[in-house]
Amino acid sequence: MFSSVRVASVTQFRDVVTRVGDEVYSSQQLLQVHGATAAKTQLLVVRNALACVVCAVATNGCFYAGNIFSCRSSTKQTRPEFLLATLLWSSLSFSAIMLVAHLPSLMTQRFLKFLDYRPGVWFCMKKLMKGSSPYFIATLGTMVCLGLLVQHIPLLIQFKLHFYLGDFCNLIFTAGITLTVRRIYYKETQQGRDRSLALKRQITSHLAPQAIARVKKFRTPSFWREYRKKLPDAVLVALAGAYIHAVSFFRILDRGEMAIAVFALSGIIFKLAIQEAAKRYIVNKGVRSIHTMCVLVGVPTVLINTQTRIVLLGTQTNTLLVTGTFGMALAEVCLRAGKAVYIVWTIRRRAKVHGQQYEQFTPASTTSKSRKSSVSPSFAPPIVKLEFETWRRQVLSYHTAELTADMYAEYIAIGCSQSIMFWYVSHPFYPALRLKAGANLSERGIARWRINQIAMLAFQFVVVVIVDYICVVMEMVIGIEFNRVKGLSAFLGVLFMAMAVLTINISATVYLS
């Protein structure tokens, strides 16, 4: 009897060990799968982000060159000459952003004259450039007038009004290219023509003959109506410039390490507050477009992180820069882990609540009062499930968009901040970006500092790549999915390329004094 008991206990122990071993092996396999998926996601993000950084560095080089026709270094150009060149580069870079941003919408169309031809980048670019050329010339003309005005009224540049007025000058091209795209779509593409005809049939079928005559006389909106419609976009750009204006005005670099630490912490809190406000807006308004989610999260993150890293770079000490980089990395890991746990906990708690609601609709718990209700109990459970599933997808979509946009924004902020400090660290027209000990550095010392910044750029990239990889694996293990953003590679690339160039545009114009 004792031998049979011993055999049974040994068999049970072997089964337990085998089961534990299988669970460990399956968890290891799952971790390997998540690791491979995270590596692919990270590689895609880094590739697109590097392309955006290259565009930002090239744009910054153009701003640094100033008047390219003077054949002189920008540090030896006159202030009025450099100011006018900066305003013109601002219009050129902004116009390039708008052209690239509108290309994808035309490349998916079929043009009436070339139904069998899939339009390429150059084909659509030529159409956009041809249609928007009058607005481009008008924008450059107003910028030249603004530059001449600022030269005769120095008070304008003191209060950065050259940037704010230039913002509304650039809005001319924004409104113009929007009208150009609309005209091309409705008059030259098959989809636009069909949509226009269908809309006209729908309207005329419900109107009297007198009203039909007015519909036929309908024309595209006027330029000034479109300009007024685009004014909120200009206001948002002006607010972004106001943030950089405040950073420049208070001269954070000259206020010591404690002020720099407080500024960096305030930037993180400000960014989180904006992201939380965007999240509440998306949930309350029922926004389902992941494109909108990425824009609402990515735009403030690029702007705030860029200025924070500019201040860290301007300390001129590798120790503080390395400490700040690791501090921001640690804060990023903690924040992302906390957000992921909170999201999963929120979904599970809501699932329990909806589970109780589901039980209330079952026949066993249905009271006579509920049977008299106008809503049939048999239809209530699917409605409850659908409501919960819609909410769950919306929350997960926003969180995934927030994570992806935040990763893109972090790389671009590193590249933009390094590029700005690399070019303007010793520039006489950018006193707010000068090193604290910059007056004592020779040209060789400045060159050595720039080489050091290239090494620090690589260091920051490596740290952020490692941090993001660890966070993505951790989030996948918890249950956060990144499948929805895999098909948004082109959109995110164009969006953050535009954001990188716009950040350089705003910074180079506002810091100028």
What is the DSSP secondary-structure string of 313-371?
HTT--HHHHHHHHHHHHHHHHHHHHHHHHHHHHHHHHHHHHHHHHHHHTSTTT--HHHH
Q: Measure the CA–CA gap between 238 and 432, rounded to whole angstroms.
A: 19
As a whole number of angstroms, the distance between CA 448 and CA 456 comes to 12
Residue 270 CA to its chain's centroid (Å): 16
Give the model's pLDDT for residue 172: 94
pLDDT tens for the chain, 513 residues long, are 445 544 445 455 445 444 444 444 456 776 677 778 788 888 888 888 889 889 999 999 999 999 998 888 888 999 999 999 999 999 999 999 999 989 888 888 888 888 788 888 899 999 999 999 999 999 999 999 999 999 888 888 888 999 999 999 999 999 999 999 999 988 888 888 888 777 777 666 655 555 545 544 445 568 899 999 999 889 988 988 898 888 888 877 777 777 777 887 888 788 888 878 877 887 777 777 777 777 777 788 888 888 887 877 766 566 777 777 788 788 888 888 888 888 888 888 888 776 655 555 455 444 444 444 444 444 445 666 777 777 777 778 778 877 888 888 888 888 888 888 888 887 888 887 876 545 566 777 777 878 887 888 888 888 888 888 888 888 888 777 777 666 777 788 888 898 899 999 999 999 988
Task: Supply the pTM of this predicted model.
Answer: 0.81
What's the one-letter identity of residue 91? S
CB half-sphere exposure, 153, CA atoms < 13 A: 12
Cβ pair 501, 493 in contact under 8 A: no
Asked if residue 80 lies in contact with residue 144, where contact means CB atoms within 8 angstroms, the answer is no
pLDDT of residue 27: 62
Measure the CA–CA gap between 480 and 472, rounded to whole angstroms.
9
Query: What is the pLDDT at residue 281?
Result: 80
Contacts of 432 (CB under 8 A, 6+ apart): 247, 248, 251, 253, 511, 513
Q: Which stretch of DSSP H or E encloses residue 488?
A: none
SS3 109: coil
Q: How far apart, in whole angstroms, are the C-alpha atoms of residue 325 and residue 312?
A: 9
The greatest distance separating any two alpha carbons of the chain, rounded to the nearest whole angstrom, comes to 109
Residue 376: CB atoms within 10 A of its CB come to 9
Interatomic CA distance for residues 286 and 378, integer angstroms: 27
Is 428 strand, coil or helix? coil
261 token code pair: 């630490």
- For position 355, what pLDDT does the model report? 66
